[in-house]
Structure 1
């Protein structure tokens, strides 16, 4: 049996939200207490950001559909040492592309229990405070720029 291939250091961060700016956060199974938006690496170098985002959202939350918006933002960050073994030797940084996914309030969430323990919907500003990752918190704080309030 062959070992799994290394992760590609190009990933998506998908801020899932409702029209009322409630943000879905999920708690990591491998790091209890670490709340985040959906994240995930490309499966192939030529996989599009949209395909990666839709695949990761479906795998991690069971959510399919919704209005996906490419926010045109990218973060480059140092991979936490505890997760570097997933990447090729010498890879220390990841390029993360940010997208938003607007879904109706009450959208059901079905977590993959191998990846996440719990989920919660929070107002966008409270969600930003709950994120363990600074780039995730910054992305959530940008939600009003990409999602004007309807009123």
Structure 2
């Protein structure tokens, strides 16, 4: 049984998500600006759609939805997506808690990296993001509003 959100017919979000750091061989990182919070820059993030959805599938789906990048092509093979084995437990920002079941205040986030060729085209989902930037990894970490996102980007040289 899935509980419905009183403000919307959509079910509550599952408090387990992925963070996907998209980067080039030169370690330039893609950041996208949230449509609902101008000035909030981040990597691709998103919650599981189903409790048993594999995390790699969640990552593939969110990358496609938010950037238009298709994982599993010749340019971006599935092997380019790597689970870094990093897990963050963080407090959900109060502004977004209404999306979760009553009493849910924490989210478990699994960190992935996705290496793409330089010049990979990006098509933003306009309802979610309004701008994009490819930045050197240190600069990208500095621009992120989320501490866990910034920390993941700082780990990039270790995993790239």
Q: TM-score range by the shorter chain?
A: over 0.9
TM-score (normalised: structure 2): 0.90
User: Once superposed, which parts of structure 1, at least 4 consecutive aligned residues long, lie more than 4 Å away?
Assistant: none
Does 2:84 match 1:78? no
Point out where structure 1 has 5 or more consecutive residues left out of the alignment. Answer: none
Does 2:34 match 1:21? no
Does 2:61 match 1:55? yes
Distance 2:144 2:70 in 1: 23
The Cα shift of 1:31 comes to: 0.2
Point out where structure 2 has 5 or more consecutive residues left out of the alignment. Answer: 1-7
Does 2:109 match 1:96? yes
Give me the CA root mean square deviation. 0.7
The Cα shift of 1:3 comes to: 1.2
**1:4 match: secondary structure:** coil
TM-score (normalised: structure 1): 0.96
**1:56 match: secondary structure:** helix
Distance 1:103 1:47 in 2: 24
Distance 1:41 1:140 in 2: 19
